[in-house]
Structure 1
Amino acid sequence: MMDKALIIIDYSYDFVADDGKLTCGKPGQAIQQAIAHKFETYITEGNPIFIMMDLHDVNDMSHPESKLFPPHNIRGSAGRELYGAVKEVYEQHKDNPLVIALDKRRYSSFAGTPLHQYLTERQIKIIELTGVCTDICVLHTAVDGYNLGYTMLVDKDAVQSFSQEGHQFALSHFEHSLGMTITGQS
């Protein structure tokens, strides 16, 4: 029975691979098994998984990120593909109706996407956030989730960032300002 959902945020080649266009590198690579394990667990339990993937177009200078970051996660590029073990588990389950992939164009997985509607239709009240970057897209998703009234979880072993200072700040913010449950070993 569905009662919670896993949200995998921006776990793409461009954000994680050594040669990704905007990579957090080894820290991002280190969480792939934790995310893949959660993916398998949620499928087994009959709970939905939402793959929220950053989307940009070539030379889209109207997007605010174009002034902040180099081009990344370009439509149709290999950089937008899921990374490593997460891609492998996705390929095994991509035809399962519990697996829903959505594009996003802002930091938050809720901004301009049908995510909230999909969660509401499934009567989901609890969401678990995973992916990158802890202090950017995961943080903005968490703030919006808080404002929408979701109970939220985050596993320290399933999120990561460019900066360990930013990562630690976001984890602290999740717990102390958003009331999220923090799990994990690290």
Structure 2
Amino acid sequence: MNNALLVIDYSYDFAAPEGRLTAGEAAQAIEAALVQKIRTSYEAGVPIFFMMDLHFDDDGLHPESKLFPPHNIEGTGGRELYGEVREVYQQIKDRQNVFFIDKRRYSSFAGTPLNQLLLERKIDTVTLTGLVTDICIMHTAVDAYNFGYDIIVPASCVASFNPPAHEMALEHFKNALGATVEP
């Protein structure tokens, strides 16, 4: 198994108590497990992809503008990685196999070079972590499945602002995508 770790949207706007579209306490509760997963992956030489939602101020053409308040706006602190995840990223960001990629849609694959980078590294398994389980993690998982990747989702490293949807997504990963959902 050649694995890559994806850290999806663990931003200030999604995780901080005062974030613009925060998953709040649920997002903060996964921080320690997420940091541990990043450190363990880095030490094992696993490629790590920090995938970050990117929006522009007054972007009424983006479909999310009709669904959610403005968030992760270019040039704002809301797009910064949150908490200790930011600190760990600062320590490893210039190393080989650590990437920071902007994304404009829910899926980390949509309109990004992610699939090509995974193919170049002969990755066959993606571990999905971050926020939000039933939105960006879900859409990334579906695309990963459609591209033929095996999928691992550590439940301790994903969260949502909608607890029932979070649980539904974890079941969907297992039952419809054949993913391994770890504790």
Give the TM-score normalised by structure 2. 0.99
**1:150 CA displacement:** 0.1
1:12 paired to 2:11: yes
CA distance in 2, matches of 1:148, 1:104: 18
2:83 aligned partner = 84
2:154 aligned partner = 155
**1:125 CA displacement:** 0.4
SS at match of 2:19: coil
1:39 paired to 2:38: yes
Q: Tell me the amino acid that sits aligned with residue 90 of structure 2.
A: E
1:182 aligned partner = 181
Q: Tell me the amino acid that sits aligned with residue 43 of structure 2.
A: T
Aligned residue runs from structure 1 range 128-147, under 5 A: 128-147=127-146
CA distance in 2, matches of 1:140, 1:134: 9
SS at match of 1:182: strand
Query: What do the CA deviations read for 1:89-147 (whole angstroms, capped 9, x no partner)?
Result: 11111111221000000000000000000000000001100001000000000000000
**1:157 CA displacement:** 0.3
**1:85 CA displacement:** 1.4
Aligned residue runs from structure 1 range 47-58, under 5 A: 47-58=46-57
1:75 paired to 2:81: no
Query: What do the CA deviations read for 1:143-173 (whole angstroms, capped 9, x no partner)?
Result: 0000000001001100000111000000000
Q: Tell me the amino acid that sits aligned with residue 19 of structure 2.
A: G
SS at match of 2:155: strand
1:97 aligned partner = 96
What count of residue pairs does the alignment treat as equivalent? 183
Q: Tell me the amino acid that sits aligned with residue 121 of structure 1.
A: E
1:106 paired to 2:108: no
Q: Equivalent pairs: percent with the same residue?
A: 57
Q: Tell me the amino acid that sits aligned with residue 41 of structure 1.
A: T
1:167 paired to 2:179: no
SS at match of 2:145: helix
CA distance in 2, matches of 1:3, 1:87: 25
**1:4 CA displacement:** 0.7
**Which runs of 5 or more structure 2 residues have no equivalent in the other structure?**
none
CA distance in 2, matches of 1:182, 1:71: 31
CA distance in 2, matches of 1:41, 1:72: 30
Q: Tell me the amino acid that sits aligned with residue 4 of structure 1.
A: N
Q: Tell me the amino acid that sits aligned with residue 137 of structure 2.
A: V
Give the TM-score normalised by structure 1. 0.97
CA distance in 1, matches of 2:28, 2:63: 27
CA distance in 2, matches of 1:84, 1:98: 22
